[in-house]
Structure 1
Amino acid sequence: MPNSFLSQGIVILGLSLGLCACNTVDRMQTSSIPMDDYRVRHPITLSETSRVLDIFPAGGPGVLDQHSIGELVTFGHLYRQVGEGPILILYPTGSGVPGHVPAEAIRQVLAASGVHAPVRVGSYPVTQPALASPIRLSFTGLKAKVATPCGEWPSDLASGSTIQGWDNKPYWNYGCAYQSALAAQVADPRDLVEPRGETPPDTLIKARGIETIRKGTDPSTAWTTKNTAISNVGGN
């Protein structure tokens, strides 16, 4: 009988040691945003950077064509939204520009778009005279961009010789392209920090909804759709 008790004790002790060994297995800790999440690894940041516009005037000497005017108007709206300081106009040197446009004509288009910033004129050297050289405009403004470069692969996705990449975690470059596209598409970088102020509510629309509910009818908007029979398309 004592021998059987001793054998049972040895078995229980062995099982306990086995359970203790299992308890040392490394486990992944989860949280609301894991440290390997793409929003933490590739964050979008706001920075003061140069905004550049290249125009190729094609309206003849001293004339801005409609395409170039449209680009300048859009550039002016962008300056009014996120720009600060002077606007720099650089003319190429060492190569002819199709229809040289004076800076005053460019300034007038910018002023018509609501830009009242100082304009400075300079030049830049042309490295390839055989290619068309644009008139380059630039200003310093707020821009959203990803703080880390995309396309980096510091570790193998599925190594055959090691267990590297077997952790079932996002790979390093995951989400970088998505974050870069989101930063490039946002109209105002400040919208990524906080929402814009709300506009005043439409009093007439609110009153109409309240009156409709008081009458016991459906306050939703009724949309009427008129469909055309397939047999009537194209005539008889």
Structure 2
Amino acid sequence: MPTLSKKVGSRWTGSVFVLSLLPLSVATLLGGCANNVDRMRTSSIAMDDYRNRHPIVLAEAAQKLDIFPPPELRGLDRRTYAQVAEYGRRYHYNGQGPIQIFVPTGANGGVSPSTIQSIRRALAAGGAYAPLQVTTYPVVNGGLASPLRLSFYGLKAKVADPCGQWPNDLASGGGVQGWENKPYWNYGCSYQNMMAEQVADPRDLVGPRAEDPADTEMRAHAIDSIRKGVDPSTDWKVKNTAISNVGIDQ
């Protein structure tokens, strides 16, 4: 068919029709590659990075403290007082609303008014001047120690999803998912949860704090040392002890 081929000089080329379809075929193949969806980014399963799968978020949640003041004391002992004072500092920075005190009721329950007053003073020592709401809860097992529980709502860092989810079999008994050499679903969740619980101020996870004022005394000392030609850095003197002398009375 003369319409499907043409002569260039003294040689015949391939079919004009086939050559015209070649760019279209390449474009079709490339378009198919472009439509190949990356399932790792668009599926319901999050990305493999544990920080994306188990992110730390800030939320308003109840922050509780269980204390066990000695029943024979009319107030708080030193250790419990320090715990409540630290709890008051947490309220001062992140808390809002009243502070609730849950008092156990029953055979071993109850608390003296002087203990409530000691709790109020310890909270005030920590900077918490919030109204107290005293309520009771029933003691389920009288043979166990029943704590006094303090609770307030405030900003708290926590993991968005609960840990302990195992949607897939680690041994891959029913499929080949374990052969992909990717982190399992629950990987990193406990680590993120531990980090969230240890943060003193959850706002530090969002942004840095304001810069503190400069130490004018340290700055003047450094400038004076430079003027004298002395190294302004701090000279730490460390006295090492030989291992052979450890445990020997001098």
Q: Which TM-score band (shorter chain)?
A: 0.7 to 0.9
Deviation, 1:151, is 1.6
Question: In the aligned structure 2, how far is the partner of 1:129 from the partner of 1:92?
Answer: 10
User: Aligned to 2:120, what secondary structure does the other structure show?
Assistant: helix
Higher relative contact order (CA 8 A, sep 6+): 1
User: Aligned to 1:166, what secondary structure does the other structure show?
Assistant: helix
Question: In the aligned structure 2, how far is the partner of 1:228 from the partner of 1:186?
Answer: 36
Question: In the aligned structure 1, how far is the partner of 2:39 from the partner of 2:226?
Answer: 51
Q: 1:118 maps to which residue?
A: 131
Task: Give, as a single letter, the amino acid of the residue that structure 1 aligns with 2:111.
Answer: H
Deviation, 1:88, is 1.0
Deviation, 1:72, is 1.5
- Greater Cα shift, 83-92 or 55-64: 55-64
Deviation, 1:235, is 6.3
Residue among 209, 214, 238 paired with 1:201: 214
Q: 1:7 maps to which residue?
A: none
Q: Per-residue displacement from partner, 1:99-130 (whole Å, max 9, x unpaired)?
A: 83312332233223322111111111111122
User: Aligned to 1:130, what secondary structure does the other structure show?
Assistant: coil
Question: In the aligned structure 2, how far is the partner of 1:161 from the partner of 1:29?
Answer: 21
Q: 1:171 maps to which residue?
A: 184
Residue among 58, 64, 69 paired with 1:52: 64
Task: Give, as a single letter, the amino acid of the residue that structure 2 aligns with 1:100.
Answer: V
Residue among 124, 145, 165 paired with 1:132: 145
User: Aligned to 2:142, what secondary structure does the other structure show?
Assistant: coil
Please tell me whether Structure 1 or Structure 2 has the larger radius of gyration of its CA atoms. Answer: 2
Task: Give, as a single letter, the amino acid of the residue that structure 2 aligns with 1:142.
Answer: L
Question: In the aligned structure 2, how far is the partner of 1:73 from the partner of 1:105?
Answer: 10
Question: In the aligned structure 2, how far is the partner of 1:189 from the partner of 1:135?
Answer: 26
Q: Per-residue displacement from partner, 1:136-173 (whole Å, max 9, x unpaired)?
A: 22111111100111121212335256321222322211
- Structure 1 stretches lacking a partner, 5+ long: 1-19
User: Aligned to 1:165, what secondary structure does the other structure show?
Assistant: helix
User: Aligned to 1:87, what secondary structure does the other structure show?
Assistant: strand
TM-score, length-scaled by structure 1: 0.76
Q: Is 1:185 aligned with 2:234? A: no
Task: Give, as a single letter, the amino acid of the residue that structure 1 aligns with 2:197.
Answer: A
Question: In the aligned structure 2, how far is the partner of 1:119 from the partner of 1:45?
Answer: 29
Q: Per-residue displacement from partner, 1:186-227 (whole Å, max 9, x unpaired)?
A: 111111111111101223333443454565554332222334
- Greater Cα shift, 65-74 or 220-229: 220-229
Report the RMSD for the aligned CA atoms in angstroms.
Answer: 3.6
Task: Give, as a single letter, the amino acid of the residue that structure 2 aligns with 1:66.
Answer: R
- Structure 2 stretches lacking a partner, 5+ long: 1-28
Q: Structure 1 pair 235/183, CA: closer, same or farther in 2 (3 Å)?
A: closer
Q: Is 1:104 aligned with 2:113? A: no
CA contact (8 A) 1:60 1:100 kept: no
TM-score, length-scaled by structure 2: 0.72
Q: 1:90 maps to which residue?
A: 102
Task: Give, as a single letter, the amino acid of the residue that structure 2 aligns with 1:147.
Answer: A
Q: Is 1:79 aligned with 2:96? A: no
Task: Give, as a single letter, the amino acid of the residue that structure 2 aligns with 1:162.
Answer: G
Question: In the aligned structure 2, how far is the partner of 1:42 from the partner of 1:231?
Answer: 50
Q: Structure 1 pair 219/118, CA: closer, same or farther in 2 (3 Å)?
A: same
Q: Structure 1 pair 52/216, CA: closer, same or farther in 2 (3 Å)?
A: same
- Greater Cα shift, 36-45 or 152-161: 152-161
Question: In the aligned structure 2, how far is the partner of 1:72 from the partner of 1:125?
Answer: 23
CA contact (8 A) 1:57 1:101 kept: no
Task: Give, as a single letter, the amino acid of the residue that structure 2 aligns with 1:75.
Answer: Y
Question: In the aligned structure 2, how far is the partner of 1:124 from the partner of 1:158?
Answer: 45
User: Aligned to 1:195, what secondary structure does the other structure show?
Assistant: coil
Q: Structure 1 pair 101/167, CA: closer, same or farther in 2 (3 Å)?
A: same
